[in-house]
Amino acid sequence: MNESSKPMYERIFEALREDIIEKKYEPGDRVPSEKELGDEYNVSRITSKKALELLASEGYIVRQPGRGSFVSEQPAPQAKQAVQAAGAPAQRSRKEDGRLLIGLVITDFADSYGNGLIYGMEEASRQHNCYLVLRRTFGIPALEEEAIKGLLELGVDGLIIFPAQGEYFNAEILKLVINQFPFVLVDRHLKGISASSIATDNVGAAKDGTNHLFKLGHKSIAFLTPPPVDTTAIEERIEGFIQAHAEKGIVVDREIWMENITSTLPKHNTEENKQKDIQKIIDHLNKHTHITALFATEFNIGQIAFQAVQQMGKSVPEDYSIVCFDCPETNGRYPFTHLSQNQHEMGRVAFENVLKLHGGQSVPSKILLDASLVISDSTGPVNL
């Protein structure tokens, strides 16, 4: 790694280490503080703090809260030489060879959503000579906490987190914020938390999908979603759906919405629950016979809606049009008209932003990527 590409905290670390080795600072001497280093190198205190923490972790200095940082009585190079002289093999650490370890905490992944994210992250890890370590949580907050703790104990240099669906963020994420550990949230942001996030422009995407149905003459559109429970991605899709109605002067009929589809959630994903949801949709469509289109917040819900329509003896798109988010390609075609999220780019940017945070650089607090409307055979004009 050339000098110009090294993170600033690493350059400060190496400069101070050189000063200690050359005895510019003797054992017991105080080294510059976080603020003094920040002023000298024109960097944030977060960056200078990382440099001092790295010096401390390698044994060059001792940090004393309230007093400052002081050169160790036996600096790290002398300690290492003593170990090697005794015959112990010298070990090469990840920090010495420049390779970083980034942890990924994700609910789950599949062809419809998730694989593209991981491909983007993995490619970025290769380009930057890093490694990616993955842990699934299946949407269970306790497993999310366990995954974050475990990856930190493993010694990861940064984290990418796809938060579990729920009404709150777990305590481990709050600790990351407090400790200023480099991490990025993917697919959603957490309210009240100062953390970098990257996600789809869900509002704009939902408007595009809804407007496509409007152009085909549909006005009675059932909105199908899991319970929002403070999940920002779903809330934003709802907002986009409502905005599209408002801009066209079409009244939103909340009576024909279904916000109780649960079988697609990781911890409720069973065949029994899927059949229950199919029956709920059938009952709903039989009750509200004026519905002509279904807007599903995800591909798996779109699939369930399609099966419900088939079991009713009806057809898509002749009787009901269906739009959803994301859709895997099958036999060279897409079964549903859908909003395609730029997963690969999302994964790549998330990984690179974690590296920037690790290097002491600032990144945008919230990045939104556009989704593309892909029109397929699941949508057609209203059949009057």
- Cβ contacts of 50 within 8 Å, gap of 6 or more: 9, 13, 360
Could you tell me if 207 and 213 are in contact, meaning their C-beta atoms sit under 8 angstroms apart?
no
Q: Which has more pLDDT, 378 or 62?
A: 378
Q: Which two tokens stand for residue 123?
A: 């490619």
- Model confidence over 10-20: pLDDT tens digits? 889 889 988 88
Distances (CA, A) of 338 to 90, 212, 298, 329: 55, 10, 9, 11
**Higher-confidence residue: 203 or 330?**
203
Give how far the C-alpha of residue 50 lies from the chain's centroid of Cα atoms, to the nearest Å.
24
- CATH code for the part of the protein at 202-341: 3.40.50.2300
At residue 66, the 3 state secondary structure works out as coil
The two three-digit tokens of residue 262, written as one number? 């649960």
Domain-by-domain residue ranges, the chain? 3-88, 98-199+343-369, 202-341
Q: State the number of CA atoms in the 13 A half-sphere of 258 facing the CB.
A: 27
For domain 98-199+343-369, the CATH architecture is 3-Layer(aba) Sandwich (3.40)
Q: Which amino acid is at 379?
A: T
| Span 350-363, pLDDT tens digits | 999 999 999 999 99
Given a cut of 70, whether residue 75 has pLDDT beyond it is no
The pLDDT tens digits for 247-304 are 999 999 999 999 999 898 767 778 899 999 999 999 999 999 999 999 999 999 999 9
Gap between the Cα atoms of 222 and 240, Å rounded: 14
* Region class of 84: left (phi > 0), else alpha (psi between -120 and 50), else beta: alpha
Q: Determine the 3-state secondary structure of 224 from DSSP.
A: strand
309 vs 315: CA distance, rounded Å: 6
The reported pLDDT for the residue numbered 93 is 43
Q: What is the pLDDT of residues 166-219, one digit of tens each?
A: 555 778 888 898 888 999 999 877 776 778 999 999 999 999 999 999 999 999
Whole-number Å distance between alpha carbons of 28 and 39: 23
For 50-59, 155-164, 178-187, 321-330, which range has the lowest pLDDT when averaged over its residues?
50-59
- Residue pair 252/288 in contact (Cβ under 8 Å)? The answer is no
- Give the span between the Cα atoms of 342 and 207, in whole angstroms: 17
Beta strands 101-106 and 158-161: pairing type?
parallel
202-341 and 3-88 share a CATH fold: no
Q: What pLDDT score was predicted for residue 5? A: 55
* Nearest of 264, 174, 179, 269 to residue 226 by alpha carbon: 264
Residue type, 146: E
> Sign of the CA dihedral 156, 160, 164, 167?
positive
pLDDT at 64: 78
Q: What is the mean pLDDT of the chain?
A: 87
Q: Is 139 left (phi over 0), alpha (psi -120 to 50) or beta?
A: left
Q: What local confidence, expressed as pLDDT, does residue 139 receive?
A: 81
Domain spanning 3-88, CATH architecture:
Orthogonal Bundle (1.10)
Return the pLDDT at 127.
92
Query: What predicted TM-score, i.e. pTM, was given to this entire model?
Result: 0.72
